[in-house]
Amino acid sequence: MFIKINNLLTMDGNADYKGLDIQKIVPGSQLYPVGENYCMVEYDGEVLEHQDILKVSKSEHDALKVSMQSNQPKSEVDLLKEENQALNNAVVELYEIVLGGM
């Protein structure tokens, strides 16, 4: 099942999983949005009743994952690849202008 844990961080910056067994969090399913105080995880256990723990659908979890991935800054390698592609496109355009004008 997928859950959202609200008020994850305490005042001293430690994570409070509200009594959940963190060993039952499915590895790789954790989503910690930057600047927010909650997380979404897939949990393989019985969820305790707690006002800060909400059940969410897989589609809600997946939508947050996609949103987080699209908002990630591009890596230096990706930026260099884009720059390289732009330069290649410019060279092709110049060849077309030169060869097309002959």
Residues 63 and 97 occupy one common structural domain = no
Q: Does residue 93 surpass a pLDDT of 90? A: no
Residue matched to tokens 């947050």: 64
The more confident residue out of 95 and 36 is 36
Residue 53 and residue 81 in one domain: no
Q: Are residues 11 and 61 in the same domain?
A: yes
Q: Same domain, yes or no, for 56 and 96?
A: no
Q: Kindly state whether residues 54 and 81 are assigned to the same domain.
A: no
Q: Does residue 53 share a domain with residue 22?
A: yes
CA 18 and chain centroid, separation: 23
Q: In angstroms, rounded to a whole number, what is the distance separating the alpha carbons of residues 78 and 81? A: 5
* pLDDT recorded at residue 18: 96
78 and 66 part of one domain: no
Residue 101 has a pLDDT of 58
Whether the Cβ atoms of residue 47 and residue 53 lie closer than 8 Å to each other: yes
For 3, 5, 20, 62, 78, the CA distances from 49, given in Å and listed in that order, are 12, 12, 10, 24, 44
Burial category of 34 from C-beta neighbours within 10 Å (exposed 0-12, middle 13-18, buried 19 and up): exposed
- Total tally of structural domains belonging to the chain: 2
Q: Based on the domain organization, do 94 and 58 belong to the same domain? A: no
Q: Are residues 78 and 54 in the same domain?
A: no
Give the mean pLDDT of the chain: 91
Q: Are residues 81 and 63 in the same domain?
A: no
Can you tell me the mean pLDDT for 84-98?
A: 88
Among the listed residues 36, 46, 45, the one whose alpha carbon sits nearest the alpha carbon of residue 9: 36
Question: Are 48 and 22 in a shared domain?
Answer: yes
51 in the same domain as 39: yes
59-85 pLDDT, tens per residue? Answer: 999 999 998 887 777 778 888 898 999
Overall pTM surpassing 0.75 (yes/no)? no
User: Whole domain around residue 84: which residue ranges?
Assistant: 73-102
